[in-house]
Amino acid sequence: MPRTYRFVIVDVFTDTPFTGNQLGVFTNATGLSDDEMLMLARELHFSETTFVLPPEADGDVRMRIFTPVRELPFAGHPTLGTAFVLGGPLQKVIIKLETARGTVPVALDREGAEIVFGRMEQPIPTIEPYADTAPLYAALGVSGSLLPVERYDNGTPHLYVMLESEAEVAALVPDIAALGKLVGPTGVSVFAVDGTRVKARMFGPELGVVEDPATGSAAGPLAVHLARHRFIEWGEEITIAQGAEVNRPSTLYARAEGDASGITRVDVGGSARVVARGEFAL
């Protein structure tokens, strides 16, 4: 007899269905092998798919995250989207999701019975300089970065390249093959800033994502990056617009708390909408 596994499709970092970043959530993945999870993630072919399992530590549930090519220890839009899917049935104000980078709490705001906004407390990223910038700039087709290029890792590593204007970010046509060979399983986030408004694009070919519509794991470290380099104040929230170039406009909110001595908290928030439900038979 076939085994059946139910899934939910949710559009994340948007309040409008069929925009934002698509996510598949398998709400009870007990019995699935690693290979089967990867197979299902490849079949859905979203930037990420999550698999919900019983908790093993201090969370309400355990969550595994797969791109079409690999498992990730942590990612942002899968965490927020899974919290939206589970928040209703579990009737939680704060839902705790166990990831390979620790337990991530997500606070959920409701209007009546409907969840309308969620905010996750992300793992604190590690930070290191990235010295080999000339090939990176060549692969992106840019002349340089207004801030030092640094590598942040909160479970999904990202490099950050700052351009002068939103128009420059929108006009990017990177050499995706060269970029993938150069940085491997690391996302490259290119952005421009206007006050607390940010225009961003994220390329991650070796993560299984040529261009991501909304990258929660990059949003938190971006707020850290801007605060560290004094483009914003610590604790100030930025609004990130992403995804227009792939016809999936998204809005993310991020803030970082701390000071010159260290980072104390990183929050990323947004909305999400469930758009479909179904099941696979294996």
Report, as residue numbers or ranges, the catalytic residues: 48
Phi then psi for residue 95, to 5 deg, are -105, 135
**CA trace torsion 161, 169, 21, 154 (10° rounding):** 10
For residue 9, the cross-strand partners are 24, 276
For residues 75 and 159, what is the distance between their CA atoms, to the nearest angstrom?
15
For residue 128 the two structure tokens come to 């290191």
**CA trace torsion 38, 40, 43, 49 (10° rounding):** -80
**CA trace torsion 263, 192, 206, 268 (10° rounding):** 40
For residues 148 and 98, what is the distance between their CA atoms, to the nearest angstrom?
33
State the pairing for strand pair 262-270/114-121: antiparallel
The angle formed by the CA atoms of residues 211, 212 and 218, to the nearest 5 degrees, is: 120
Instruction: Answer yes or no: are the C-beta atoms of 95 and 88 closer than 8 Å.
Output: no
For residue 231 the two structure tokens come to 């483009």
Question: Running DSSP on this structure, what letter comes out for residue 207?
Answer: G
